[in-house]
Structure 1
Amino acid sequence: MASVIGGKALAPKAVVAELSRPGPYPVLRGELALVGLPGAVFTPATGTGLPAVAFAHDWLQPASRYFGLLRHLASWGIVAAAPDTQRSPIGSHRALAHDLRTALGVCSGVRLGGSARGAAVSVDPGKLGLAGHGMGAGSAVLAAAVPAADTQVQAVGEPYWEVGHGVAVQAVATIALTDTKPSAVDAARAVHLPGMHLGFGKDLVSPPAAGADLVEQNWGGESSLRTIKKATHLGLLEGRHWSDILLDGKGEAATRSLVKALLTGFLLHRLNGDGRYAAAFDGPVKGTEVHSA
């Protein structure tokens, strides 16, 4: 585990109260398309050796419906990138997983922002995470199941092969996970990393028992499962989109606020070694139920 920074661990209520608000850093937005990958990246205005996370969207959803979440992460010092690919009704889960790894490679291998007169932002390649919502959560698990090595590995129970890549992931967060093809539930056995899984209690698209719960049970590393009791599948999303008529639920300010706090705390703890926010992983939080493996 990374060395702990900061002071005494905060109580769960204090973690949520602090991290549900925007952080202290001004935020800049850039485009991943400049390096050939459609999508957006949000960064603090300045900083070196920062943590970074690649975030994957749900089925049919544009990355723009998560911009508030990505901006929030950046305001707390976390570089946040979101590929805007595989958005068709038959988008490839495995290809989205590949795009997540590519996004992390861009963030950790390129100086972001800056100018001839100003310092650019840099990411520590040892502080990389993956996260996603719905289908994107399953793709994040697939991405994490492939080790950072030039070897070939086979996901448990699936007749396919993936080639190792050049980024080393340190933590994974899933939100209202929907299983994928190949199966994220099976691939979870190959993920030996800290994992935080958030299920939505009123999710009729992917109930926790059919998604997040199964992944957490099969997780190869340390993991926690937290159910946000009143959240629906679309609770995390911002704005409106034509796909809303196909999926159950609606955007919910309370769900977005709670997810922002929990995800920010988990990433600051696991990627940046900040022990003050350890309670985001498995501490008791009002309106949620938590189970740790």
Structure 2
Amino acid sequence: MANKAKHLAEELSRKGPHRVLRGDLALVGLPGVVFTPMAGLGLAAIAFGHGWLQPPQRYHGLLRHLASWGFVVAAPATQRGPLASHRLFAADLSTVLDVCVGVRLGNGEISVDEGRLGLAGHSVGGGCAVLAAASDPRVRAVATLAATQTKPFSTDAASRCRMPSLHLAAGQDLVAPAVGHAGLIASNWGGEAQLRLLRKANHLGFTEGRHWSNLVLPGKAEHGTQRLAKILLTAFFLTHLTGSTRYRPLLAEDIKGAAIERDEDELVH
């Protein structure tokens, strides 16, 4: 089983079979970016929340990777200031899902199935994804990367979430300690939840490139951390949004650099 998981991880570390289009959410009234496969009807869609002070551009590699595996992935560029509203950002993530469902993307050759919607986010964007999921019954799966606490509390909102979830915590995180926010969100989750610890990762390891916020936040971009996020989020959303069973063995096993701290069965309430 371990060898099979390793093989599947290697498969998902590479870009998927779809050519990818990039678009601007501003065309439909919301600043941000959207990545889609070249064409496809009834696709799954994921709204992605950026971290504190971070522009969506720092996640383009992850968003493009998910799109290459058949997902519509959109990231709003709102609430980026130091005093951003978590409540409003959570609402923006739900609005992005509205856009994905209600607007024909590309040249009219791309549509989204309302029964295949997911949320994901890094840092405060992960916490806001939890807030959005707690109040949006359309959401079928949630993934967070080094999630931080929000106001209202994402740790409380987690108890109202019944959909499957995946939470990646960074072992070297000085902003959101691994045993803190992500662990509490996973422990309080109202449905299936899995917590994985990326022991060598830091808080900004999930971001790409350089940004002025590196001067005020500890950590830096890490290729290895980004690779693990791509593998695990792709496997998770393919399993829970598209119904594929191919990558379930990967989700059930430790993979190098991303051990399961608590599995789904232990966290089901």
TM-score range relative to shorter protein: over 0.9
Q: CA deviation at 1:15?
A: 2.1
- Preserved contact between residue 51 and residue 124 of structure 1 (Cα < 8 Å): yes
Q: What is the aligned partner in structure 2 of residue 151 from structure 1?
A: none
Q: CA deviation at 1:105?
A: 0.8
Return the structure number with greater helix share: 2
Structure 2 residue 251 is the aligned partner of structure 1 residue 284: no
Q: What is the aligned partner in structure 1 of residue 81 from structure 2?
A: 88
Distance 1:280 1:144, change over 3 A: farther
* Worse-matched range after superposition: 281-290 or 186-195: 281-290
Structure 2 residue 224 is the aligned partner of structure 1 residue 254: yes
The CA RMSD over aligned residues, in Å, is 1.5
Q: Secondary structure at the match of 1:187?
A: helix
Q: What is the aligned partner in structure 2 of residue 58 from structure 1?
A: 51
Alignment counterpart, residue 202 of structure 1, candidates 138, 160, 172: 172
Q: CA deviation at 1:245?
A: 0.9
The normalised TM-score by structure 1 is 0.87
The normalised TM-score by structure 2 is 0.95
Q: CA deviation at 1:229?
A: 1.0
Q: Which runs of 5+ in 2 are unaligned?
A: none
CA distance in 2 between counterparts of 1:281 and 1:188 reads: 21
Structure 2 residue 148 is the aligned partner of structure 1 residue 178: yes
The one-letter amino acid of 1:78's match is F
CA distance in 1 between counterparts of 2:65 and 2:190 reads: 29
| Aligned ranges 1:34-53 → 2 under 5 Å | 34-53=27-46
| Aligned ranges 1:1-293 → 2 under 5 Å | 11-114=4-107, 120-148=109-137, 168-290=138-260, 291-292=262-263, 293=267
The one-letter amino acid of 1:273's match is G
1:126-159: CA deviations, max 9, x gaps?
A: 00000000000000000000043xxxxxxxxxxx
Larger RCO (CA under 8 A, 6+ residues apart): 1
Q: Secondary structure at the match of 2:41?
A: coil
Q: Which runs of 4+ in 1 moved over 4 A?
A: none
Q: Secondary structure at the match of 1:122?
A: strand
Equivalences, count? 263
CA distance in 1 between counterparts of 2:117 and 2:136 reads: 13
The one-letter amino acid of 1:266's match is F
Give identity over the alignment, percent.
Answer: 56
Q: CA deviation at 1:209?
A: 1.2
- Preserved contact between residue 235 and residue 255 of structure 1 (Cα < 8 Å): yes
Q: Which runs of 5+ in 1 are unaligned?
A: 1-7, 149-167
CA distance in 2 between counterparts of 1:72 and 1:49 reads: 19
